[in-house]
Structure formats: structure tokens, C-alpha cells
């Protein structure tokens, strides 16, 4: 009789892990970390991340004071989060066999980041499928390296006004706010 219960419990545990794997597909890994990094999943569960930790579509990543965190995505794109940032991976899908099904939609809730686009952002067919949204605008990319700071309530320093600040190191971004789109090229801020 005890073997029956043991097998039942083992099957239940395996079923739980299989279901968990189906719903939490890895879309990237933490490659560098200088302090605490917290991930909140869509179901509300929280976990503390370390280097080599997986991140999933739907996760909200939160950096602490003095924490920088670099995430390398499965399409070879990278996001480096600045201290005191909240960043949500809204919807990330990468299919190297059917690239037109790939997309990367992010939301910078607060704080700042530096992004280097991977395959999704560099592939001409997918340029509309890579976006970073912030409180006041949506940023579309054109194969680029960019920085974004969503400054709120003194989060970027006492002398910096609230607002969204975007800089482009390589390529072009399209900044859209209230149905007005502005193109920002490399070297512009």
C-alpha cells in the first residue's frame, strides 16, 4: 500500500513540474548582476534572481538601489536594467524556424535601461514586432542600441524633470506619443 501512495505522490510532483514548464518558457537569462534582482511572474509569485537565472515572458523584473542587471534574450538581444527600475517582459516569443511569428514587447514601468536588439529587432520583417512602452510613449526600433530613462518623482536626480529620455547609439528609434511619431537617429537624445 505505501508504494501506491509513493507512486501517486511522485506522479503528482512530476505533473506539477511538467505543467510549470509548459507555462513558464524561458526567454532569457540573467548574465550579469551587481545586487538584488526580483522577478514577479504573472501569477504573482516572486523569486530572487541570480546570474544564470531564467527569465520568462510575463515576468516583471525589479532592480534595487545600486543594482544593474543584464538580461540576454534567446534571440541574442540584451537589456541592461539600471538601479531602481521596474521592467516587464510583456510578450516575448522567438521562433528561429518561423521568424515572422517572433515578437518582443516590453514595458519600462520606471527607471532606466540600455537595449541592444537581437534578431527580432534587426530582422526587417519583424521591426514592428519589437517595442518598448513607457508611461508617456512607445518606442519602436530599427536595429539599434538605445537607452531609455523613465524619470518620475526625482528618480533620475533632483535636477532632472519628470519625463521619458531616449538616446540612440546605433540605428534609429521611432518614438510615438499621442499619435505623433518622431524619428531619433544615432547620436540624438
Q: Walk along the chain (189 residues) in steps of 10 and give the mean pLDDT of each run.
A: 49 46 75 97 96 97 96 96 96 90 94 92 75 89 83 80 88 86 84
- Cα–Cα distance, 43 to 51 (Å, whole number): 23
Q: What is the pLDDT of residue 24?
A: 59
- Cα–Cα distance, 31 to 140 (Å, whole number): 25
Q: What is the pLDDT of residue 12?
A: 44
User: pTM for the full model?
Assistant: 0.81
Q: What is the pLDDT of residue 21?
A: 42
- Cα–Cα distance, 169 to 53 (Å, whole number): 28
CB contact at 8 A, 137 and 100:
no
9: left (phi over 0), alpha (psi -120 to 50) or beta: alpha
Amino acid at each position: 500500500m505505501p508504494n501506491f501512495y509513493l507512486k501517486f505522490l511522485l506522479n503528482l510532483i512530476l505533473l506539477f513540474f511538467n505543467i510549470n514548464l509548459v507555462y513558464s518558457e524561458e526567454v532569457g537569462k540573467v548574465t550579469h548582476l551587481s545586487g538584488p534582482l526580483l522577478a514577479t511572474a504573472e501569477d504573482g509569485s516572486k523569486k530572487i534572481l541570480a546570474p544564470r537565472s531564467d527569465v520568462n515572458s510575463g515576468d516583471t523584473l525589479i532592480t534595487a538601489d545600486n543594482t544593474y542587471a543584464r538580461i540576454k534574450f534567446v534571440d541574442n538581444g540584451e537589456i541592461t536594467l539600471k538601479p531602481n527600475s521596474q521592467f516587464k517582459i510583456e510578450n516575448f516569443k522567438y521562433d528561429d524556424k518561423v521568424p515572422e511569428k517572433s515578437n518582443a514587447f516590453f514595458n519600462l514601468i520606471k527607471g532606466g535601461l540600455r537595449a541592444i536588439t537581437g534578431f527580432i529587432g534587426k530582422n526587417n520583417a519583424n521591426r514592428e514586432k519589437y517595442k518598448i512602452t513607457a508611461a508617456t510613449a512607445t518606442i519602436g526600433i530599427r536595429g539599434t542600441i538605445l537607452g531609455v530613462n523613465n524619470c518620475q518623482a526625482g528618480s533620475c536626480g533632483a535636477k532632472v524633470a519628470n519625463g521619458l529620455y531616449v538616446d540612440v547609439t546605433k540605428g534609429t528609434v521611432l518614438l510615438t506619443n499621442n499619435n505623433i511619431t518622431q524619428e531619433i537617429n544615432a547620436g540624438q537624445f
